[in-house]
Every structure is written in C-alpha cells, then in structure tokens.
Structure 1
Amino acid sequence: MIIKKSPAEIEKMAAAGAIHARTMKLIASKIREGVSTAELDQAAERFIRSQGAVPSFKGYRGFPGSICASPNAMVVHGIPGPYRLAKGDVISIDIGVTHEGWVADGAVTFAVGAVTPVAAKLLEVTRRSLFDAVEQCRPGNRLSDVSHAVQQTVESEGLSVVRSLVGHGVGRSMHEEPQIPNYGDPGKGPMLEPGMVLAIEPMTTAGRHMVRMGDDGWAIYSQDGSLAAHFEFTIAITADGPRILTPWHEGDDGL
C-alpha cells in the first residue's frame, strides 16, 4: 500500500530534507584527494546530530555507517572505512536523515578533481536523468513515466541503467511502497497522486547493467568493473507539481 502524506506531514519531511541538503553541502566541501570515507562519515554524523536529527542508515538492517560512500565501480551501499579518495575517482555519497520520525533520503556522485571524459559524461547524464524523472512526478502521470524518463535519458547517451536496484516510497520508514525501477515502458503502474512521496534514484554504469554483491554483503558493484553513478532526491507529489524535499542542488556550489 502506498502511504500518502498530508501537507503537514510533507512539511515535516521537508524539514528533514533541509538538514539532508545542508549535510550534503558539508560533505561536498570535504571531497578531495586523500580524505577517507570514514572521515566523511564522521563529519556527516556529527553534523546530522548537531541539527537534532539522526542518520537514518546507522544500524539500519545492521548497516554500520552513517552514510553510504561508494567509489568508482561500486554502485551503492559502500561502508565507510579506510579508503582514501584519489584524484580522478568518482564517489556516490548517499545520506539518510531522520528528524522527528520522518526520513529524507538523497544521493550525489562527486568527481574527485579532474576525471576522465567517460566519468564526466556518466555523472552529467545520470544527474540529468534524475531531473528528467522529477518532471514526470505530477498528478495524473503513472509511476512508470518516472522510470521511463530515467531509462530514456541514460540509454540515449549509450550508458546503462542498473535494473536490479530500485527507488522507493519514503516517509516514517526508509523503504515504503512503491518500488520505482529506473526503466520500463511509460503509462503503467499506479497513478501518481498528491501526497505520495518518492525516493527517485537513478543508478547507472558506463558499461553493462549487471551488478554483483561485494564480499561484505553490502556493497554492490558493476559486474564488468565499469564506473557507476548514483543521484537521488526525495520528491513529494503535490497538486502544483513535484516538490524536491532534499534540495542538495540549490545554491552555487556546483552540486
């Protein structure tokens, strides 16, 4: 069942989302050669807690980190640790914030210094596919219109959508119905209605779409070792159109 939120509840989610966006901007300021993913995790946790919120991922199904930090061929669910960023890396930073019982979820893939043309294209196209998906988050559209928008943007550029991982509903729980694939024909699935809140998250690779599980049981990698990217917003469907509740893109810092 898709749990719709009242306007007041969406405002509470937006408050969590504002903390999320500030956390992402803090992490963006720390992305540089030599920084460890553990150091990024510690900075995020300290800041989230300073805002009266908690990191949603910490302890979720046993996950040990406060954020997911997934470099290069790792698509998602990277456990922060000793890995130090190197020039030319790309790294997905996925952050969940819970504030007063409401969850906000979002991700950005960052370039560490100058990256290859392939990496730059992957990040630009994946980010663009997220915004194209957001444009479909309007009452009267179907859920698969969102999915199709991602696929169309990504595959038209010769890149691949990871098919075994999905976005999801979000609210008081990290994962609610519905599941949101990043591919599919338009015009199918539930009709979008005001009050639905969705975590839309294109996950892509520069190679093929297949993935594999890492030895730690959490990290998911592109099967062929190609670079991966991941961008995510929490989006509320409103009568006036889509409302981005995790606005990490706002401002002039290049996110």
Structure 2
Amino acid sequence: MVFKRSIYKTPSQLRDMVAPGRATAASLDAVAAAVAPGVSTLELDVLAERAIVEAGGASNFTLEPGYHHTICASVNDEVVHGIPGRRILEPGDILSVDSGAILGGWNGDAARTFVLPDPAHPERVADRQLLSDVTEQSLWRGIATLASARYLNEVGDAIEEYILSRGDFGILTDYIGHGIGRRMHEEPPVFNYSVRAKGPEVRPGLVVAIEPMVVRGSQETYVKDDGWTVATEDGSAAAHWEHSVAVHADGIWVLTAQDGGAEGLAPFGVTPVPIP
C-alpha cells in the first residue's frame, strides 16, 4: 500500500498533538456532565465549544465546508454527523457525540455515546446500554491491539471479533476511522472490521482515530435531508465511540483520554506511556 505522504509523525510532532487531544477530551467531559432529559443538543454544542476555547483551541468541525457546529450529536437511529439544534433529549434516548479540536495547527478527534435513564422503560435502556458498552469495549480492544500489532489492520480484526462474539450487532462498513494530524482526516484508513490487506506497518509516529460505529439492526444507512445526518434504514439504535491514539518509541498514548487510556486499557494488561 502506497501513501502520498508519510503517515508517520516525528517525536516533536507527536508532542504537538497532545494539547488538541486534551482539548477534545475536555469538550466531551463538558458534554458528559450536562447530558440529561430536557437538555437540547444545541446546549451541548455550546458547552463543548466553551471547553475547547478555554483549553486554548478551536473547533475543527467548523472547518469542514458547510458545517457550523462544534459537535455532531446523533440521537437514537442516527449513527453519525447529527447536527445540533433545538431537539430536546428525552428519557431513554441514546446519544452519540463526536467532537474535535485544533490547537497549534494539530487536530484531535473523539466520540462517546450516552444512554439516558428511563425508569418507565428499563428494558430499552438496558439494551441500548449494552449496545454502547459493546461498541466502547470494541474500541478499547482495538486500541490494545494497536499496542502490539505489526500491521494496522489487525485493529479491525480485533474489533470485529469482539463485536460478533457479543451477539446480534451490525458493524457499519461505509464509515471508518482514519489517520489524524495536520488535518482531521488523513491517511491511512482504519477499518472496524477484517479486510484482506495488512495495512501500513505499526511503528513510532503513527497516529490514528479508531472509531467503531455499531447498530442494533441492519447495517444499511441513509443520509437525511439536512445533507449530514447518517441514520439507520430500519430505525434501529446506533452507538459510536472514538479515540485518537499515538504510537511512539516507548508505547502508545490515547491522546483524547485525560489519563492517556490507562483505565480503558488496564483490563488488557496494556499500560499507556506518555509521549516524551
């Protein structure tokens, strides 16, 4: 596989990517503290933007042509790219929030999924929480695999194997992860499922955004009339988790986790190492 430019960053460039990763994490922390029934997705957008600005950065989502918000807020059957607005969150909703920051010319990108409580419908909440948990754990398995992988596409093998082992879930194939650096979306592609190609070599300087998108029903999706929001054809619920991860000479570091990924990687015996 040949790439137009080097996909590997220098040690200095890896250090430059720490700050935008932290700013991205701060924006999602702000969202997490505010998610509740009765809150609008636009209110969450405002909080995310404020957190990024306070961290010294700016939203990189607003740099996408035609997009004017800090986050993507996707609710229930919406998988990704949902536009924040007046929609009020309701009990039992499953909400995926994608956010990114640019700072010093470098980018961060991450996503989390939240399931709102609903005492009136505990079974629906439990099922949606399982969907979110499976998606999140598949992400951490992918990151843990990256720590010892020889080739990048081993990550997709690990993600798919775990998701399929947990039950009847669909992995989106039309939307995948990506490299990240000076631009939010760079080479190489990062698959969330097994492919025949090995992908690029995993070695110091590789920085990728791993982002499994998983649905409770069919993998078929469509784009809504707003031109952005991707939703499931059958109306089934969806979840999305993402982290930007750097490989360096001493190990890996999850740029968009405040602890570098220590808590998420602990069950796999992987200890993230700060970028020197």
> What do you get for the CA RMSD once the two structures are aligned?
1.8
Task: Quote the offset at 1:238 in angstroms.
Answer: 2.0
Cα distance in 2 for partners of 1:187, 1:131 equals 22
Give the aligned partner of residue 24 of structure 1.
28
Q: Secondary structure at the match of 2:153?
A: helix
Q: Determine whether 1:145 maps to 2:154.
A: yes
- CA distance change for structure 1 residues 76 and 4 in 2, over 3 Å: closer, same or farther? same
What is the total number of aligned residue pairs between the two structures? 252
Cα distance in 2 for partners of 1:168, 1:223 equals 25
- CA distance change for structure 1 residues 140 and 75 in 2, over 3 Å: closer, same or farther? closer
Q: Determine whether 1:217 maps to 2:227.
A: yes
Cα distance in 2 for partners of 1:124, 1:209 equals 18
What letter matches 1:163 in structure 2?
T
Cα distance in 2 for partners of 1:140, 1:37 equals 38
Pick which of 186-195 and 99-108 moved more. Answer: 186-195
- CA distance change for structure 1 residues 38 and 154 in 2, over 3 Å: closer, same or farther? same
Is there any run of 5+ residues in structure 2 with no aligned partner, and where? Answer: 119-123, 264-276
Task: Quote the offset at 1:193 in angstroms.
Answer: 1.5
Give the aligned partner of residue 87 of structure 1.
91
TM-score by length of 1: 0.93
Out of 66, 72, 79, the residue aligned to residue 75 of structure 1 is 79
Pick which of 108-117 and 37-46 moved more. Answer: 108-117
Out of 14, 37, 40, the residue aligned to residue 36 of structure 1 is 40
Task: Quote the offset at 1:97 in angstroms.
Answer: 0.4
Cα distance in 2 for partners of 1:185, 1:38 equals 38
8 A Cα contact 1:68 1:76, kept in partner? yes
Pick which of 59-68 and 100-109 moved more. Answer: 59-68
Out of 55, 59, 62, the residue aligned to residue 58 of structure 1 is 62
Pick which of 69-78 and 17-26 moved more. Answer: 17-26
Give the aligned partner of residue 189 of structure 2.
179
Q: Secondary structure at the match of 1:138?
A: helix
- CA distance change for structure 1 residues 176 and 47 in 2, over 3 Å: closer, same or farther? same
Q: Secondary structure at the match of 1:178?
A: strand
Out of 234, 239, 250, the residue aligned to residue 244 of structure 2 is 234
Out of 142, 162, 182, the residue aligned to residue 133 of structure 1 is 142
- CA distance change for structure 1 residues 248 and 119 in 2, over 3 Å: closer, same or farther? farther
User: Runs of 4+ in structure 1 displaced over 3 angstroms?
Assistant: 248-252
Pick which of 89-98 and 106-115 moved more. Answer: 106-115
8 A Cα contact 1:138 1:238, kept in partner? no
Cα distance in 2 for partners of 1:155, 1:164 equals 18
Q: Secondary structure at the match of 1:4?
A: coil
